Every structure is written in C-alpha cells, then in structure tokens.
Structure 1
C-alpha cells in the first residue's frame, strides 16, 4: 500500500498552493471526513489551522523551519492559530529517514524550551506503525500526501482529552473504520468524480 496516500498527479508542479490544496483535501476527506481526529474540525473550519510549506531540501534547514514554526505557534494567540502543519515535500520522503528525524524534532522542541508547551505529531505518505505490515490499511490513519510535522499545543490536547471519557477509543475506532473501508475504499477516496 506504499504510495497509496492522497497525492498530486506526477505532472503537477509542487507549488505551495498545490501542496496546500492536496493537504486540505486530505484533511477534508480523511482526517475530518472519516473522523480520524474528532478535534480537527473546529480549527480547520474556524481557520485556526496554519498550513506552512517548507522548502527545505535537507534536514538542517528543516530543523530550522521547525524551530521557527514552533516559536511562531507559541507566540500566536490560540484564537488566531490553534495548530500548525509543517509540510515538507522536498525532504524526508523515505519513511525510515522521516521516523529517525522525529528524534531531532523532539530535540529542537527541548532546545528552545517548549517541551511541555507544544508537541509534535507525525504524518507521512508511507507511514507505518511498528509491528504492522507495510500494506496494512490501518497505517492510513497517519498517511498524508506529503511528510508533515503537526505542531500542537499541550493545553489544547489536555482540553480535548478532558472532553472524552476514553481517548483510546479514537485509535480503536480509526482502525475499525479503515478496516471496514479497506484498501480499495481508501484508494477510491482520492479519485475525483467528474
């Protein structure tokens, strides 16, 4: 199922607008459409979700962009920007390299003193959970059109967790949803009807 995530046609240029459009489509159809994250709708609809495209082509520059976006989120009123997706289409296309970079991302967070204030979630076109087959449909819960670092406020997470009796139910429901949908159903979500 590698490469089965929503993406742009190969002939389309990766402009910022095209990257953002593909990411918004993924949010609308998968994240919100399948209710993979019950907390995603409000920031998206209220336009409090920042989508930023990094032009980094190496991990050093990506770490710099990550630091800048973490600081920007921390310095911005949550009513103006609740959360940020740092989309990086030109670096870390290999999932193993991306997964290794998550340690660097956490180190950046600690280095600028925002651990406990912000946290980083991850999405990738070839996302694979540990101990799960690469082609298992449940991997699609974290498959996005491009590699993405999702920057979240700890206070928002705490608030969301407090609003639910069983947050583990989200994970279980997502797996069930994707298993019912199946690989063919996931693929069909990205075919636009005329």
Structure 2
C-alpha cells in the first residue's frame, strides 16, 4: 500500500497534536497551530540536491509570506536523508543556504528525525523522542516569532530539561502508546 502525501501530513499532524502540543514539548506550538499558521508540505525529493531546491523554495515562500497567514513551515521529506547521520550533515547545508539567501536573523531551521539521537545518548534513550518525528522534517521558523515566544516564556532554557523529564516519566511504553511514529514512506 502506497503512502500518500495526505497520509504523511496526517501522521505529522498526529505527532504535532499528541506529542509536540499534547505533551507541551514546545510551549509555543499550540498558538500558531490552532490559528492554522503552520504550513505542512511534503517533499518528493529523493536526493539531497532536490531537497535543497525544495528548501530554498520554502524558505523564500515563508520569508515572503504574511506571518498571520504562515508563521512556520514543516518541510517533511520522507524519501531522502533517512539515515540520521546524513540528515545531521545536511543541517550544515541549511545554515549555508540561510546565509546565501541573506535570511540569517530572519529565519532559522530546526530539525526532527525518526532516528534523532542526542550526542552522548544511546539510540534507544527515551530522551531522543523530544526531537523524533514520524518522518525526517525540517522546521522553518521566523526569528521574530521565536523572540516573541521567548519573551512570553519565563525560562526558555528550561524547556530542554523539562522535555527530557517528560520523556523519562512517560517512558518507552508511554511514548509508543501515543502512536506518533516513526513511519517509513512506501
């Protein structure tokens, strides 16, 4: 059975609603999600170069869009960079693209991957789930939105520690019961 774009978007929304928002892993996500300002787009890229071209298009679209319409974009790319180390190396390319497009200070790219692993952890360490999505995903964010959210949050540095505590309390069985991924596109 072939996985469609609608399936991939539905899985991504499920992850956003149950994990990111439901567990409050990102205290800033709910506001833009309920206002429908999150753009979720699936890339059919099957090479890093094709993904890079799609990334450039999405960065330009976000930069040129009204934040009230599109505040953030999730560029889901299920057919490329399946290996976490390849994905992690690609993040250096995203930084270079932001600089080349003169978007540093305006936009940034965060990352989510089904096999995300923090340095110093084991692959199965439950803390890694804070950055695991159903499919490899580049999260394009506006710096201004981040700044506003940080102003409203008393201690943004504590989010990381709180998220790890949430994952440890939830445990592997609790995470799996959420049924938020990872998934493989067919």
**Range into which the TM-score falls when normalised by the shorter chain:** over 0.9
* Cα-to-partner distance string for 1:115-174 (whole Å, 9 max, x where unaligned): 110000000000001111111100000000000000000000111111122111111111
Normalising to structure 1: TM-score of the pair?
A: 0.91
In the alignment, the residues of structure 1 paired with residue 122 and residue 146 of structure 2 have an alpha-carbon distance, to the nearest angstrom, of 29
Q: Secondary structure at the match of 2:67?
A: coil
Aligned residue runs from structure 1 range 125-136, under 5 A: 125-136=114-125
Q: Secondary structure at the match of 1:158?
A: helix
In the alignment, the residues of structure 2 paired with residue 53 and residue 174 of structure 1 have an alpha-carbon distance, to the nearest angstrom, of 27
In the alignment, the residues of structure 2 paired with residue 64 and residue 110 of structure 1 have an alpha-carbon distance, to the nearest angstrom, of 15
Tell whether 2:88 aligns with 1:102: no
Name the counterpart of 1:154.
Answer: 143
Tell whether 2:48 aligns with 1:33: no
Tell whether 2:169 aligns with 1:180: yes
- Structure 2: which 5+ runs fail to align? 181-186
The root-mean-square deviation of aligned C-alpha atoms, in Å, is 0.9
Aligned residue runs from structure 1 range 13-162, under 5 A: 13-162=2-151
* Cα-to-partner distance string for 1:9-67 (whole Å, 9 max, x where unaligned): xx4x2211000000000000100010000100011111100001001000001000000
Instruction: Tell me the matched-pair count.
Output: 180
Name the counterpart of 2:183.
Answer: none
In the alignment, the residues of structure 1 paired with residue 88 and residue 166 of structure 2 have an alpha-carbon distance, to the nearest angstrom, of 25
* Cα-to-partner distance string for 1:74-133 (whole Å, 9 max, x where unaligned): 000000010000000000000000000000111111111101100000000000011111
Q: Secondary structure at the match of 1:70?
A: helix
In the alignment, the residues of structure 2 paired with residue 173 and residue 112 of structure 1 have an alpha-carbon distance, to the nearest angstrom, of 34
